[in-house]
């Protein structure tokens, strides 16, 4: 089973790319790029920003494709799947993307960092909720092609800040009970069943969760 997570990180693009390419976390063969060389991604992304005079503001978007510890998959296979995912999503057209597969944890995962500026037209990278869901669905379709398991609907938590990610990561691995995870699952379930905001609020109240 693998999930797509959208990470809202405040780290600089330098720190983000330096982190995901650390030698103790990955191998050079697991460092790749789309529309750029993986080992030179930072310089190429900076050059694009400078060329379009867009060196300020949001610098990148960070996704993670994370596999369950129980998934029968090698780092090389996970990297191949990530490559197909990155190259297949049309939202990445014209953007430099670097992606690195980490094998230093009990679950294999691939970091995907997208430059915020398009090298073809200078547009900033953005996506809607529907497009993000399309990305997740695309991931599922690729996983099925490789005979890998996918998440059941209504159980996937995919967008949170980096501190919440660490907490949820441990909880999802069964290391301890997480109230953040429990609430997030209830909210996600209510979103799928409620037909109005009033019904959504009532469903959560029945679960002991108050909304403001």
Is 23 strand, coil or helix? coil
pLDDT at 206 exceeding the cut of 80: no
**Looking at residue 41, what is its pLDDT?**
96
Confirm whether 187 is domain-assigned. no
pLDDT at 47 exceeding the cut of 70: yes
Distance from C-alpha of 87 to C-alpha of 157, rounded to nearest angstrom: 24
211: pLDDT confidence band, cut at 50, 70 and 90? low
Confirm whether 47 is domain-assigned. yes
φ, ψ dihedrals at 196, nearest 5°: -155, 165
CA distance between the termini of the chain: 34
Q: Is pTM, for the whole model, over 0.85?
A: no
Mean pLDDT on 4-8: 87
**C-alpha angle 127-164-148 in degrees, rounded to nearest 5:** 65
Domain count, the chain: 1
pLDDT digits 0-9 by tens, 144-155: 999 988 866 544
pLDDT digits 0-9 by tens, 87-138: 999 999 999 999 999 987 778 999 999 999 999 999 999 999 999 999 999 9
Domain extent, residue 131, equals: 2-160
CATH number at residue 6: 3.30.930.30
The count of other CB atoms within 10 Å of the CB of residue 10 is: 8
């Amino acid at each position: 089973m693998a999930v797509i997570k959208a990470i809202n990180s405040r780290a600089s693009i330098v720190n983000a790319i330096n982190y995901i390419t650390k030698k103790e976390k990955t191998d050079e063969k697991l460092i790749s790029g789309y529309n750029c060389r993986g080992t030179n991604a930072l310089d190429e992304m900076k050059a694009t920003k400078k060329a379009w005079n867009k060196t300020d503001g949001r610098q990148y978007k960070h996704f993670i494709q994370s596999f369950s510890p129980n998934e029968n998959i090698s780092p090389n296979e996970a990297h191949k799947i990530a490559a197909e995912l990155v190259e297949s999503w049309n939202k990445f057209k014209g953007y430099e993307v670097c992606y690195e597969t980490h094998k230093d944890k009990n679950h294999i995962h691939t970091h995907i960092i997208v430059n915020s500026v398009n090298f073809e037209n200078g547009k900033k990278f953005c996506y809607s909720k529907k497009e993000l869901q399309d990305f997740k669905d695309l991931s599922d379709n690729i996983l099925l092609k490789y005979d890998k398991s996918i998440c059941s609907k209504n159980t996937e938590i995919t967008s949170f800040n980096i501190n919440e990610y660490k907490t949820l990561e441990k909880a999802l691995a069964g290391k301890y009970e997480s109230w953040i995870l429990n609430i997030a699952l209830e909210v996600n379930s209510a979103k799928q069943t409620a037909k109005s905001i009033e019904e959504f609020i009532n469903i959560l109240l029945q679960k002991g969760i108050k909304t403001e």
